[in-house]
C-alpha cells in the first residue's frame, strides 16, 4: 500500500470509510472531497463501453461478443480488444469496465452464454486474461465476472446451486484462476446466485479461502448490481463495494451497529476501504479526479479491429461441394435470395452487453457493399420472429389534443390527483431508468390516450409490467397482471414474456385506453424489483391481426425458386437471447418459424446457405438439406461486412467452435438439471454432471449425438498435423511440438489443439482435456512446426478428500488435433505425477 493511501485512510472517520463501501449512484463510487478522495465511474460492459444510459445513450463501438472472440482462438486479438475497450471506456468518462464475463457455458439454453467465452475453462481463462491485460496496460480496471458459477438466468438473484467442490474448482473457478494468475485483474464482481446455500457475495470459500488466500490476489471485490445480500457476512467475506448506490445494506447506522455488536471489526472496515482507495489509485483517480462528459468517438482503428475479430470468429460448419465461397467472378449476373433476418444487424445480445452502437451493418448492407451491381439480390422476411409486439404509438392523441399519450404520476394507491402530468409521451411504454418525469420511485403511473384505429377488425395486443399492471379500453379491463416481474432487470432489457390477447376495433371510432402500473411489491405482489425496487415500468404492444398472421413463408419460397442461390439468415434478436432470461427453446424462435423457413427454402433451392447469428448452439433439424452452414455469432457493429467477407471469399474462415454443438437438447450434460426444481419457493439446481461439462461429457457418449464437436471449423483450404512429439523438460513441465501443413490451394488458418488424458480410461476422470492451443496461419503448401509448453497444472484434477490438486502417476496420452473428434497425432508419455501441486 502506498504512503498516500495510508495517509488518506488514517484521516478518514469511520463514517467516511463506510461511505466508500457502496456506490453513490448507478455507476459512480462515493467521493470524500474534504479528504481528497474522488469518485470514479464504472461502465458496462463486456463488448463495448456503453456509458451511463441503458438505451439510446452516447454512441459507442460494439465489439463481437465473447463467444465470437473465443471462436478466433487468438489471444493476440483478445489483447488488442482489451486495449481498444480501454480507450472506449475512457471516452465514457469511466475508469472501470465491468467485464470480461467469463463464466462457463454449462447448458445451451443459458441466457447469458454469449457474453462468456467457452465451455472450456482453459480457453476462457487464457482469452479473458489477455482482455484484462489489454485493458489495464492502458490504465482501465478490468472487472472479471461473475464470480462464480453464474451459468443461468432463471431465478438468478436467489437460485441455490449445489456444486461439488471438484467441479467448482476444475470447471467454474478455473477460468478465474487462470485470469487472476496471468493478468492480475484489478477488480472482481461477485455473482447473484448462491453456491451450496451461500450467496456468492458473502462466500468464504470463494472470496477468503481461494481468491485472496490460495490465489494471493489483492484487488477490489464488488457486487453485481443489486447482488449484495447481507451486511456483516459480506463485509467479513471480503466484499469491498456494494453496487449500485445508494446503499441498501451499508448505511452508516447499520454498519456502526454491526461494529458495536462485534459482528464486524473496524479492521475489516479498514481493509474494505483500503481496497476501494487502492483501486482509485490504480486507475489514476487521485492524479486526475475529474469525471469528464461522455463522448462518442468512432475510431477507424476500432472499426478495423472489430471486423478482423468478427472475421476470425465466424465458423464455417458445413460446405458441401465447395459451394462457398461465392466469388464475385463466379456468380456475376446471378440472382441471390437474401431471406429471414438479412436486414437485421444481430450485433449483440440483450442486457449489460447492449449499447447504442456507432452504426450497425446488416448482412443486406454488407453483401451489397461486397458485390455491388454484379449480382441481383432479392429479399423476403419469410418468418415471424418478434418476441414483443411494437408499442402502440400511431393514431394516438393525448389529453391536450397532441399526438401521443398523457403520462401521470400518482401517490401509490391513488388515481384521482396526479403529482405530475406530462403530455405528448411517444408510445405505450415507460422505462424505469431514463424515463420522463422527476422521480417515479414508489409512485403509480398511468398512461392514457384516445386511439382511433386505421382499420376495423381484430388486433393483437400484449402487455407486461415490472409491478402490477392493468389495461382498460373504454373503462373495460382487458388485461391485468397481478404479480411483479420475476426479474425487473430483464424487463428493462426487453426479455420479459408478454401475454398476447385480441381486441376488436372499428375504423375511425375513438377508444380511451389507459395503462395503470404500480411499483413491484405493490398490493399482494411479491417484490422482485431488486435494484429497481420501487420503480414502475410497463409496455403495451399492438399489431393488426392481418400483419400478425401474415403468410411470410410463401413469398420467401417463391423468391428462392427464382434465384440461383438462397441465403437464409437465422438467429436471435436481443430480446430472445438476453440477460435476465434463459433461452425459451433449443429451436430458433418463434414457434419453429425459422426452422420452417429453412426447410421450405432448402426444398425449393438446392443451393441454400444458412447463416446463423446466436451466442449458443441451436437445433438444426434442416442441416442435411442445406449446402452450407455458417455460425456468425453476435459479431459486433461490423457484422454484415464480416459475414460478406467470408461468403465472398475475401476472408478464408478460420473460426473454431469454443462450445460443443449437440444434435438434441436431451444430450446436453446438464439436461434434467437445468434450470432446477422449486421447492417451498426456492429454486435449487444440482450440478450432478460434475466435471463432465461440454466435450468432457460428449467424449463419453456416442459421437453421432454431437452435431459439431468442440474445436471444429472448416476452411476454404485444408490442414493436416503430423510428427507430434512430447518431452519432459522438468518434473512439472513438458515441451510439445507438432508439424502443421496447409495441404490446400490457398492461404488460411487453423487452430492446433492439444488435449491430455489418461491412457487407462477412468469413469472418474474426463477422457481428455484441453491443455494448450495455438492459432496458425500458413500459405498454401507451407508447413510449420508448432511448439506448445504444457505443465502438470494444465491437466491436474482436484482431489476433494485430500483438498489438493493432483496428477496421478501413470501413462498419459497427448493428443494433437483440430477438434475433439479430429485427433491426428497421439503421443504416450509416462508421467511421474505429483501428489500435491502448488498451482
Query: What are 114-145's pLDDT values in tens digits?
Result: 999 999 999 999 999 999 999 999 999 999 99
Rounded mean pLDDT, 226-242: 97
Please tell me whether the overall predicted TM-score, pTM, comes out greater than 0.75 for this model: yes
Residue 119 contacts residue 105 (beta carbons within 8 Å): yes
pLDDT per residue as tens digits for the range 43-84: 998 999 999 988 889 999 999 999 999 999 999 999 999 999
Q: Rounded CA gap, 623 and 609, in Å?
A: 10
Residue 116 contacts residue 58 (beta carbons within 8 Å): no
- Please state the domain extents for the chain: 3-282, 305-385+550-652, 396-548, 706-831
Residue where the block lists cell 472487472: 143
Grid coordinates belonging to 381: 422476411
Angle of CA points 526, 532, 537, to nearest 5°: 85
| CATH architecture, domain defined by 396-548 | Sandwich (2.60)
Answer yes or no: 224 catalytic: yes
Say which CATH topology domain 305-385+550-652 has.
Rossmann fold (3.40.50)
Q: Rounded CA gap, 614 and 482, in Å?
A: 33
Ranges of beta strands (E only) in 165-205 are 187-190, 194-195, 198-199
CATH number of 706-831: 2.60.40.10
Per the rule left: phi > 0, alpha: psi between -120 and 50, beta: everything else, 197 is left
The single residue of 120, 155, 201, 224 carrying the catalytic annotation is 224
> pLDDT band at residue 440, thresholds of 50, 70 and 90?
confident
| The domains spanning 3-282 and 396-548 adopt the same CATH topology | no
Residue 444 contacts residue 474 (beta carbons within 8 Å): no
Task: Give the residue from 242, 192, 8 showing the smallest Cα distance to 580.
Answer: 192
> pLDDT band at residue 525, thresholds of 50, 70 and 90?
low
Residue 54 is predicted with a pLDDT of 84
pLDDT per residue as tens digits for the range 559-569: 999 999 999 99
**Over 90: is that where the pLDDT of 838 sits?**
no
CA atoms within 13 A of residue 710's CA, in its CB half-sphere: 26
Residue 669 contacts residue 701 (beta carbons within 8 Å): no
Grid coordinates belonging to 712: 471444429
CATH number of 3-282: 3.20.20.300
Grid coordinates belonging to 247: 446503499
Q: Rounded CA gap, 816 and 11, in Å?
A: 59
Instruction: Find the Cα–Cα–Cα–Cα dihedral 473, 478, 482, 484, rounded to 10°.
Output: -70
pLDDT per residue as tens digits for the range 173-230: 999 999 999 999 999 999 999 999 999 999 999 999 999 999 999 999 999 999 999 9
**Over 80: is that where the pLDDT of 112 sits?**
yes
Task: Give the residue from 155, 215, 40 showing the smallest Cα distance to 805.
Answer: 215
Q: Rounded CA gap, 751 and 475, in Å?
A: 64
pLDDT per residue as tens digits for the range 760-813: 999 999 999 999 999 999 999 999 999 999 999 999 999 999 999 999 999 999
- R_g of the chain, CA atoms, integer Å: 27
Rounded mean pLDDT, 709-717: 98
The pLDDT > 90 percentage for the chain reads 90
Q: What is the mean pLDDT of the chain?
A: 95
Amino acid at each position: 500500500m502506498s504512503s498516500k493511501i495510508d495517509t488518506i485512510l488514517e484521516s478518514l472517520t469511520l463514517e467516511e470509510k463506510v461511505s466508500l463501501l457502496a456506490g453513490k449512484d448507478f455507476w459512480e463510487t462515493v467521493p470524500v472531497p474534504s479528504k481528497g478522495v474522488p469518485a470514479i465511474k464504472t461502465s458496462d460492459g463486456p463488448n463495448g463501453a456503453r456509458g451511463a444510459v441503458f438505451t439510446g445513450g452516447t454512441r459507442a463501438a460494439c465489439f463481437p461478443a465473447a463467444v465470437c472472440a473465443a471462436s478466433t482462438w487468438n489471444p493476440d486479438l483478445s489483447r488488442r480488444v482489451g486495449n481498444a475497450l480501454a480507450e472506449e471506456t475512457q471516452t465514457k468518462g469511466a475508469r472501470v469496465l465491468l467485464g470480461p464475463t467469463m463464466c462457463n457455458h454449462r447448458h445451451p439454453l443459458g441466457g447469458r452464454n454469449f457474453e462468456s467465452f467457452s465451455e472450456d475453462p482453459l480457453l476462457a481463462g487464457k482469452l479473458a486474461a489477455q482482455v484484462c491485460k489489454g485493458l489495464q496496460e492502458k490504465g482501465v480496471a478490468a472487472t472479471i465476472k461473475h464470480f462464480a458459477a453464474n451459468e443461468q438466468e432463471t431465478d438468478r438473484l436467489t437460485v441455490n446451486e449445489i456444486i461439488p467442490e471438484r467441479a467448482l474448482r476444475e470447471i467454474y473457478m478455473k477460468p478465474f484462476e487462470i485470469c487472476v494468475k496471468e493478468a492480475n485483474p484489478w477488480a472482481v464482481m461477485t455473482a447473484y446466485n448462491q453456491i451450496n446455500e451461500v450467496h456468492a457475495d458473502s462466500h468464504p470459500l470463494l472470496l477468503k479461502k481461494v481468491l485472496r488466500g490460495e490465489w494471493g490476489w489483492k484487488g477490489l471485490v464488488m457486487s453485481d448490481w443489486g447482488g449484495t445480500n447481507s451486511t456483516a457476512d459480506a463485509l467479513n467475506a471480503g466484499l469491498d463495494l456494494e453496487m449500485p448506490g445508494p446503499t441498501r445494506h451499508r448505511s452508516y447506522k447499520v454498519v456502526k451497529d454491526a461494529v458495536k455488536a462485534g459482528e464486524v471489526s473496524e479492521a475489516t472496515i479498514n481493509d474494505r476501504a483500503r481496497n476501494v482507495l487502492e483501486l482509485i489509485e490504480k486507475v489514476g483517480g487521485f492524479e486526475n479526479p475529474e469525471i469528464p462528459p461522455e463522448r462518442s468517438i468512432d475510431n477507424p482503428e476500432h472499426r478495423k479491429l472489430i471486423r478482423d475479430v468478427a472475421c476470425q470468429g465466424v465458423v464455417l460448419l458445413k460446405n458441401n461441394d465447395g459451394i462457398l465461397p461465392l466469388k464475385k467472378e463466379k456468380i456475376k449476373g446471378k440472382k441471390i435470395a437474401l431471406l429471414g433476418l438479412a436486414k437485421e444487424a444481430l450485433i449483440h445480445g440483450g442486457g449489460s452487453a447492449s449499447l447504442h452502437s456507432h452504426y450497425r451493418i446488416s448482412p443486406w448492407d454488407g453483401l451489397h457493399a461486397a458485390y455491388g451491381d454484379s449480382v441481383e439480390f432479392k429479399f423476403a422476411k419469410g418468418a415471424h420472429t418478434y418476441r414483443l409486439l411494437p408499442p402502440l404509438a400511431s393514431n394516438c392523441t393525448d389529453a391536450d389534443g397532441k399526438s401521443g399519450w398523457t403520462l401521470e404520476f400518482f401517490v401509490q394507491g391513488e388515481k384521482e390527483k396526479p403529482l405530475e402530468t406530462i403530455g405528448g409521451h411517444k408510445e405505450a411504454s415507460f422505462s424505469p431508468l431514463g424515463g420522463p418525469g422527476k422521480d417515479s420511485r414508489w409512485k403509480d403511473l398511468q398512461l392514457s390516450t384516445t386511439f382511433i384505429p386505421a382499420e376495423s377488425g381484430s388486433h393483437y395486443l400484449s402487455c407486461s409490467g415490472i409491478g402490477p399492471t392493468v389495461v382498460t379500453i373504454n373503462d373495460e379491463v382487458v388485461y391485468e397482471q397481478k404479480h411483479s416481474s420475476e426479474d425487473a432487470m430483464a424487463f428493462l432489457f426487453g426479455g420479459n414474456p408478454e401475454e398476447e390477447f385480441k381486441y376488436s376495433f372499428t375504423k375511425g371510432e375513438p377508444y380511451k385506453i389507459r395503462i395503470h402500473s404500480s411499483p413491484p411489491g405493490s398490493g399482494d405482489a411479491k417484490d422482485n424489483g431488486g435494484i429497481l425496487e420501487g420503480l414502475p415500468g410497463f409496455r403495451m404492444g399492438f399489431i393488426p391481426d392481418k400483419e400478425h398472421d401474415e403468410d411470410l413463408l410463401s413469398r420467401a419460397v417463391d423468391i428462392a425458386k427464382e434465384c440461383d442461390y438462397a441465403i437464409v439468415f437465422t438467429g436471435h434478436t436481443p430480446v430472445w437471447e438476453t440477460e435476465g432470461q434463459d433461452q425459451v427453446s433449443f429451436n430458433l424462435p418463434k414457434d419453429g418459424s425459422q426452422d420452417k423457413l429453412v426447410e421450405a427454402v432448402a426444398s425449393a433451392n438446392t443451393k441454400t446457405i444458412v447463416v446463423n447469428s446466436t451466442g449458443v448452439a441451436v437445433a438444426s433439424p434442416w442441416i442435411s438439406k442445406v449446402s452450407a452452414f455458417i455460425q456468425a455469432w453476435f459479431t459486433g457493429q461490423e457484422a454484415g461486412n464480416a459475414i460478406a467477407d467470408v461468403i465472398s471469399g475475401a476472408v478464408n474462415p478460420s473460426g473454431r467452435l469454443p462450445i460443443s454443438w449437440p444434435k438434441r437438447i436431451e444430450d446436453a450434460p446438464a439436461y434434467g438439471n437445468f434450470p432446477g426444481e422449486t421447492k417451498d419457493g426456492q429454486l435449487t439446481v444440482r450440478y450432478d454432471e460434475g466435471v463432465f461439462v461440454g466435450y468432457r461429457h460428449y467424449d463419453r457418449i456416442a459421437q453421432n449425438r454431437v452435431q459439431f464437436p468442440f474445436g471444429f471449423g472448416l476452411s476454404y483450404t485444408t490442414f493436416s498435423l503430423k510428427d507430434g512429439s512430447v518431452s519432459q523438460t522438468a518434473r512439472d513441465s513438458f515441451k510439445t511440438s507438432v508439424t502443421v501443413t496447409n495441404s490446400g490451394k490457398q492461404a488460411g488458418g487453423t487452430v492446433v489443439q492439444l488435449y491430455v488424458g489418461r491412457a487407462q480410461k477412468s469413469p472418474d476422470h474426463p477422457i481428455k482435456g484441453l491443455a494448450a492451443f495455438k492459432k496458425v496461419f500458413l500459405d498454401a503448401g507451407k508447413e510449420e512446426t508448432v511448439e506448445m509448453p504444457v505443465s502438470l497444472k494444465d491437466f491436474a484434477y482436484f482431489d476433494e478428500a485430500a483438498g489438493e490438486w493432483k496428477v496421478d502417476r501413470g501413462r498419459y496420452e497427448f493428443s494433437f488435433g483440430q477438434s475433439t473428434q479430429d485427433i491426428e497425432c497421439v503421443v504416450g508419455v509416462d508421467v511421474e505425477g505429483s501428489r500435491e501441486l502448488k498451482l
